Amino acid sequence: MADRRSTETEDAHALREQALPWAVIGAGVHGLSALKALRQLGVPAVGFDRASEVGGNWDFGGPTSRVHESTHTISTKPFTQFPDFPMPASYPDYPSHVQAQDYIKRYASHFGLYDHIKFGCEVTAISAGSQVDITIKDLLTDASSTERFAGVVIANGHNWHPKLPYYPGLPLFRGERLHSADYKSAEQLRGKRVLIVGAGNTGCDIAVEAAIVADAAYHSSRRGYWYSPKYALGRPSDQVADLLLALRVPLAVRRVIFAAVVRLVVGDLTRFGMAKPDHRFFETHPVVNQLLPYFVGHGKVTPKPDIERFDEDSVEFTDGSTAKVDTVVFATGYLATFPFAADELLNIRDGRPHLGRQIFSPAHPGVVVSGLIQPDSGQWTLAHWQGMLIAHYARASRDRPADAAAFAQRVAEQVEQRYTGGAEYADTSRHNFEVAHQEYLACLQDDIRVLEGSR
């Protein structure tokens, strides 16, 4: 019996020695956490990124960064930081993008990830057979090569490819048009008559900056939203919300509490000319901005409904009002695109991937995605646990392929499962990847236990 166990150990060791590495596309938060987890669990892995530095969206000035000079996180340190690498105690509740990027760089250094990332490399194609072949273009030399991997983690992000709307007359408009992806500084708005389109967090932030430096600021939104303050009941609002979840306060009661807080802190938004929310709390992605109502109340931002049409130097809204503007900022979100992968590989239907746990492709067991989520709280804790699940799965695929295959098949049958925490999310593309963080986190951790238990 001892000889048999010894043989099995030797066979497993030989299998590990022969195993191909995994590829990780992207060196942002999700790519780094996946790369770290894979290597931590003994799975060889190499990362690829177009930029010359880690950070992705937080690498201000980088090719896929979408932050601007005044960007701060909308979640606080406990829900932004990685669980195994706390943010410095000196950081404020809501760190700036400079602090966030410095933290990400120190995370990569601490876990020795720089040695395993190839920068200045663009992945141009993925083909999947028994393994995964990836074509990589060196952006410095323009040379391309194809390498083979055991699997690939796609972590290229979903907030980099601008989604631009069309309105009647827009081609006639002679003023400046830009997407929020190209917005970097309030100086781009100084002294101008600005229209901001879109009421997500970015659109509201830009409207606030326009209120300070522009000659006139108009803010167009198709619907009304709840504007959550960054602090509630004497604490950061996301910490209050998480405490209520931990105490198992029912959703209906949490809605009443937060609606009451908003009424006390902000008041009736319709009094300022802002649209009344057409949904209940937690049915849309939280908009964390208490300054927008402040500047609307001071007449520095004029709220407007949806756009009817553009003219050469003006815009007409659906309520019949008009405004003279010379600059339009479309804060209208992004499309999740994967230019290096065929739609079939990621089970893309209705313009979006349908994946088990929003991670696992039912089309190929070696193709997984990290970061295709938009949580109601901080992103980076979930990035850590997505990375850990992927790493456990990759290790099982190498060491116990039958167990990994059974897990992949079970998860593939759940591609339509949503993690809403009981809420009914708004039926918009913005909410395709919305998750209630506590429910989703519990699911990831359950899956890890399943994969660990089959060892």
| Contact of 90 with 80, CB cutoff 8 Å | no
* Same fold for the pair 2-161+334-453 and 164-330: yes
- So what's the pLDDT on residue 17? 54
3-state secondary structure of 282: coil
| Contact of 336 with 352, CB cutoff 8 Å | yes
Tell me the per-residue pLDDT of 5-17, one tens digit each, with 9 for 90 and over: 444 455 555 555 5
| Contact of 55 with 105, CB cutoff 8 Å | yes
- So what's the pLDDT on residue 18? 62
- So what's the pLDDT on residue 234? 82
CA atoms of 408 and 386, how far apart (whole Å): 15
Q: Which regions of the chain are under pLDDT 70? A: 1-18, 454-455
- So what's the pLDDT on residue 57? 95
CA atoms of 323 and 300, how far apart (whole Å): 14
Residue 287's DSSP bridge partners are 227
Which of 98, 62, 95, 51 shows the shortest CA–CA distance to 77?
Answer: 95
CA 22 to chain centre: 22
| Contact of 26 with 157, CB cutoff 8 Å | yes
- So what's the pLDDT on residue 454? 56
Domain boundaries, the chain: 2-161+334-453, 164-330
DSSP label at 224? B
- So what's the pLDDT on residue 13? 54
Contacts of residue 323, Cβ cutoff 8 Å, sequence gap at least 6: 193, 195, 216, 218, 302, 304, 314, 315, 317
- So what's the pLDDT on residue 229? 84
Residue 130, number of CB atoms within 10 A of its CB: 7
Full-model pTM = 0.91
Out of 2.60.40.420, 3.10.580.10, 3.30.43.10, 3.50.50.60, the CATH code matching 2-161+334-453 is 3.50.50.60
Q: Which two tokens stand for residue 423?
A: 């809420």
Contacts of residue 14, Cβ cutoff 8 Å, sequence gap at least 6: none
- So what's the pLDDT on residue 424? 81
- So what's the pLDDT on residue 8? 45
CATH H-level superfamily of 164-330: FAD/NAD(P)-binding domain (3.50.50.60)
Q: Are strands 216-220 and 151-154 parallel, antiparallel or unpaired?
A: unpaired
- So what's the pLDDT on residue 329? 98
Q: What are phi and psi of 291, to 5 degrees?
A: -85, -25
CA atoms of 22 and 44, how far apart (whole Å): 6
- So what's the pLDDT on residue 235? 87
Q: For 172, how many CA atoms within 13 A lie in the half-sphere containing its CB?
A: 10
Q: Using CA of residue 265, residue 270, residue 272, residue 277, what is the dihedral sign? A: positive
